[in-house]
Chain A
Amino acid sequence: MLAKIHITLKKDVLDPQGKVIANSLTDLGFGGIQSVRQGKYIEIILDGDDKNAATVKLNKMCEKLLANLVIEDYSVEIN
């Protein structure tokens, strides 16, 4: 099973990298950008095919190590 994990800064946490990216895109002529938020994308390949058990395990991984819940949100998707 392939798990796809997205980790993003919480909405109320300043994302200076996102701001710089937004400014650069605007400078390149891409109009209409309201905001950019930058995050992390992690792929994990797991044994087995029990999606429910995998979801529980992946949520624990995010809470214990992959995300810092003080500043980050995460989402888990299994293919």
Chain B
Amino acid sequence: MKSHVIVFPGSNCDRDVAVAIEKISGSAPEMIWHKNTSIEHSDLIIVPGGFSYGDYLRCGAIASTSPIMHEVVQKAKAGVPVIGICNGFQILIETSLLDGALIRNNSLSFICRDIHIKAENSTSIFTKNNIIAKMPIAHNEGNYFASTETLKKIKDHDQIAFRYCDEHGVVNEQANPNGSMENIAGILNDTKNVLGLMPHPERAIEINLGGDDGKHIFESVLN
């Protein structure tokens, strides 16, 4: 299992992701600086969370033009599994690997707390462990938006990976932390090898540190 974690100026979850991958797969990922232009054989690429380029212009917009992202897009199109977490999700959206947009939370507040998500698609490599999971979110722009046509397309193609829900798995407005359309917390591309999600599974891999539900997502794709 060879995995890679992309590091941008302002990434701050890259090491957490590396710890999670090593704990679950037994081998440490290679960290790739954003100025690199190529990635050797990879079984999994992770674009981690943080505040790449200080969120200038739009979250993820500048990072999406970094040299390494051209290679990530090529690898994703060739079928390599790619996960974008939080700011990584915003970056993947800005590259157009994933549909829609992530706009300001409807509360206008940065939200940092545990939420629950429910896997909506048990056929993808990331969601084989059909779960209801507790993990943290920590974002200001996680409010998923898509046009009516795009929303229909992602629903018709079974591209919704996770929805925000309550602890029993009930998807309702009270469980929606940021105003995302249809409680969407994570989506897939149409070939289901690219996942973007706002919650942080890498921050939920230790019972002693608040819970380990996040490991299900990594186990699904790594094992």
Contact = CB atoms under 8 A, between A and B. Distances in A.
A64 B26 CA distance: 40
A12 B150 CA distance: 14
Contacts, number: 34
Nearest to A10: B147
B103 A65 contact: no
B104 A16 contact: yes
Determine chain B's interface SS by DSSP, over half rule.
Answer: loop
Contacts of B106: 14, 16
A10 B145 CA distance: 12
Nearest to B105: A16
Interface residues of B, number: 18
A71 B101 contact: yes
Given A14-B179, A16-B108, A17-B108, A71 B61 contact: no
By size class, the interface of chain A is 10 to 19
Contacts of A13: 103, 145
A39 to B, nearest CB: 12
Nearest to B146: A70
Contacts of B10: none
29 contacts: A9-B103, A12-B147, A13-B103, A13-B145, A14-B103, A14-B106, A14-B179, A16-B104, A16-B105, A16-B106, A16-B107, A16-B108, A16-B179, A17-B104, A17-B108, A20-B108, A65-B57, A66-B57, A68-B58, A68-B61, A68-B94, A70-B100, A70-B101, A70-B145, A70-B146, A70-B150, A71-B101, A71-B103, A71-B145
